[in-house]
Each structure stands twice: as structure tokens, then as C-alpha cells.
Amino acid sequence: MASVLIQIIFLSLAFLMTGFLGPLLTGFISGLLTASVRGGLALMTFSFALLYGVFVSSLNRLFVVVESGRVRPWRLMASTLASTLLVGVLSATVSIILGIIPYNPALVSMIMVAGAVQGLAGGLISGVIWEKYLRSFTAMP
């Protein structure tokens, strides 16, 4: 579960540092690295890591996270929350359909709550890291 928090922080910071393609490339690399240790679920792991990058890029652009050269923290948190929940719902659905995990409403609810908390925390943490440490070192897209 902690890997989702770390992943959303890196994806968000990649968007802030490099623009739209940053999370796509970060998701691609993250997918390759995590898939290399997943064995039979490597393709699924890679696909959802890449999809996570697509959602982060798209939703950060849709929510206009960067406006007038400034990061809008509430919009960043909303974007990371939505991205995390979308990937969580899709991956849980695919896992249930493929029989990887049993359908259990309590389990699915726990996945969604944990994803929501990590998505919000990831947006907040990446916004703070950006504002305090990285904004002065990189050019905002």
C-alpha cells in the first residue's frame, strides 16, 4: 500500500517538473521496475502503472493544477485523489473479474478508502515538496 503513496508523489512531481509527458514516462519506468518482480502479473502491473501516469497527466491538465506559474494545492490534491481512485477501481475490478481477488465489499471498500487517503496525502506532500524545495530549481511548464 505504501508504494501507491510513493508512486503518486513521484508522478505529481514529474508533472510539475517536466509537464504533461513527465508522469507518462515515470509511469512507464515504474511499471517496468515493478513488473520485473511480479512474475505472472507483470503485464497487469505494467499496464496499471502506465495508466496511472496517463490519469495523472490528464487530470492535472484538466484540473488546471498549474495556473499563472503557481501550483494550486487543492486542485493538485483533487487530481491525485481522482487518479488514485480511478486506478484503484479499475485494478480491483479487473482483479475480481480475473479471479485474482474474491469479490468482497469490505475488501473493495478498504482498497478505496486507502487509495483515497494516499491520493490526498500524495497530492499534499508533492505540493509541499514542490513549493518548499523544487520550484526555484526547475522551470514550471
In a domain, 94, yes or no: yes
d(CA 26, CA 141): 16
Grouping H, G, I as helix, E, B as strand and the rest as coil, residue 19 is coil
Residue 39 has pLDDT above 90, yes or no: no
What letter does residue 120 receive in the DSSP assignment?
H
Give the other-Cβ count within 10 Å of 135's Cβ.
16
Q: Is residue 140 part of a domain?
A: no
Q: What CATH number does residue 16 fall under?
A: 1.10.1760
Residue 64 lies in a domain: yes
Rounded Cα gap, residues 6 and 100, in angstroms: 24
Classify residue 118: in a domain, yes or no.
yes
Question: Quick check: 141 pLDDT over 60?
Answer: no
Tell how strand 70-71 and strand 66-67 pair up: antiparallel
- Residue with the larger pLDDT of the pair 138 and 92: 92
Parent domain of 54: 2-134
SS3 103: coil
Residue 139 lies in a domain: no
Query: Is 69 within a domain?
Result: yes
SS3 97: helix
For residue 58, the model assigns a pLDDT of 97
Cell of 45: 502491473
Domain count, the chain: 1
pTM, full prediction: 0.90
